[in-house]
Amino acid sequence: MVKGFLCFGAALASVVAADSKPLAKKSKNSTDKPNIILIMVDDMGYSDIGCFGSEIPTPNLDRLAQSGIRYTNFYTTARSCPTRASLLTGLYQHDAGIGGMSEDGGEMNKERSVHDFGTYGYRGALNRNCVTIAEVLKTEGYHTYMVGKWHVGLIGREKWPLQRGFDRYYGILAGASSYLKPQGGRGLTLDNTQIPPPSQPYYTTDQFTDYALKFISSHEKGEPFFLYVAYNAPHWPLHAKQEDIDKFAGKYDQGWEKTRQARFDKMVELGIVDEDWGLGEWENRSWDQLTPEQQAKSSLRMSVYAAQVHCMDYNVGRIIKYLEDTDQIDNTMILFFSDNGACAEPGNEMGFGNAEINDPDSWVDPSYGKPWAQVSNTPFRKYKVRAYEGGISTSFIMSYPKKTKKYAGEIRRNVAFLPDIMATFIDISGATYPETFHDGQKIHPLAGTSMMPTVSDPKKELHEYIFGEHEKNRFARWKQWKAVRDQTSKRWELYDVVADRSERHDLAAQHPEILEQLVEKWNEWAAAHNVFPRHPGGGVEE
């Protein structure tokens, strides 16, 4: 390892490239306000990066963790668009208007989305009783830029990024899209203009980064910027550059179980998980039950997925290098995480399968299947959409050398969630969260709390309770306790997620009084935050 690294133990040091260097340079920014970069990836599992246990090389994110702090108890909403709504506004997603799904690509020219249920919490787009991070930071003189996946409203230009506080935008307003040829309702938008499908070769992860660097390199020097990078990687379809795929040829021929166990062992070594948790429920056949043809197909799909993650990491490295080269790294906060757990859609072994890998005209097929999603979420139970840890937990990195250098490489187990990001940015920028905005519209109170106290205090409790709901998947967390009600069930379960974060032991029968308390609190929260009714006349749902 290069001399001068801010070392935080041999385990993580082993995953950092030998020629890496620490993120530590003096800032020449004339203002005390830090630059802020928010990097969110799409459908990436908890253990899919090296500093959280993966075999996929992610040297740039590992360096970011080395110079910053890793949070192991950060929660999302379990799905893309409600996560984006909560993230951008600092609210529970229902209060922002996207309790379910958002307006999507095929609806670009419609008057109303099928996801607009006509009730306050389910309109399918951000409402006017919320403000975005960009809108708040602009009041403090920030230049505001976004690249990547928007997915919080597209029917009507008033819902687009430039009308919600961003100075520049390049990306995809809809949800899923081809990496190689975004087109139609799932095509590209530059600022307020939809642009034609790109010429080949083209790859979203690279181009999003190109525009991100273009935006932040052109803004007026000496003034702070906010950059929101919303990569669509590694969401399906499986699209990757061949040179990246080749790096993982044969890597996954050992199969699901061995890869999962190797990740778990490494996570224990890194201090990310407790060995006593064990591995969460496995819902699939064993690898040796597959035919050789099935094994080859599945191994290849995971290789492409790994290539997507690896390329994303390379592009994060490009952003870091720009900050280092321009002496801005020390006064820049970078947050990295995923919008939800890994994706098991459509819920079978092999994933979506009607298109070939790297078909530029496909925006869905193929995906890598439920078993690999469970590997990505090692050691947790379930996956995207569900309220178990595999759906709502994400790896999370904070790097802000000006504040985190003293604690570089440390792990924080403080419980935090999406609304805390808005609160954190308000804290470090000196901004004020408004009571009214949008020509006098009343703004919902901020739901989050700044994470900055946790940098120096590993025992700091930010919230007594946190709650969640998406498509009837429900959870409430209080201290070490977590109550879960699955979309397929009419009963609540109870887990001690400090002792058993893999959620293997339902303690509802042993602690009925705790479960009753959590369910009561969840119902109070749901009544206060527009969770019900979902449909007009639907009343409170069971």
pLDDT value of residue 11 = 42
Q: Which CATH superfamily is domain 10-464 in?
A: Alkaline Phosphatase, subunit A (3.40.720.10)
The H-or-E segment that residue 134 falls in is helix 133-138
73-77, 367-371, 389-393, 533-537, range with the lowest pLDDT: 533-537
Residue 329 backbone phi and psi in degrees, to 5: -65, -35
84-102 average pLDDT score: 98
pLDDT of residue 440: 96
Query: 3-state DSSP call for residue 532?
Result: coil
pLDDT tens string 258-310: 999 999 999 999 999 999 999 999 999 999 999 999 999 999 999 999 999 99
Q: How far apart are CA 57 and CA 424, in angstroms?
A: 30
- Distance (Å, whole) CA 455 – CA 297: 44
Average pLDDT in the chain = 93
Q: pLDDT value at position 541? A: 62
d(CA 202, CA 182): 9
The per-residue pLDDT for range 510-540, each reduced to its tens digit, is: 999 999 999 999 999 999 999 999 988 766 5
Band of pLDDT at residue 19, cut at 50, 70 and 90: very low
pLDDT of 128 over the 80 cut: yes
d(CA 427, CA 418): 15
Distance in angstroms (rounded) separating the CA atoms of residues 507 and 44: 29
- Portion of the chain with pLDDT greater than 90, in percent: 91
| In the chain, domain spans | 10-464
Predicted local distance difference test score (pLDDT) of residue 14: 42
pLDDT at 219: 84
The pLDDT of residue 390 is above 60:
yes
Residue 359, token pair as written in the block: 């078909």
Q: Is 334 helix (H, G, I), strand (E, B) or coil?
A: strand
203's CB contacts (< 8 A; 6+ apart) are 179, 180, 239, 241, 311
Tokens matching residue 400: 């802000």
| pLDDT for residue 4 | 30
Q: What is the pTM of this model?
A: 0.94
Amino acid 335: pLDDT: 98
| Beta partners for residue 147, in sequence order | 170, 229
What does the pLDDT average to over 165-174?
98
Give the pLDDT of residue 354: 80
Question: In whole angstroms, how far apart are CA 269 and each of 10, 245, 396?
Answer: 10, 28, 18
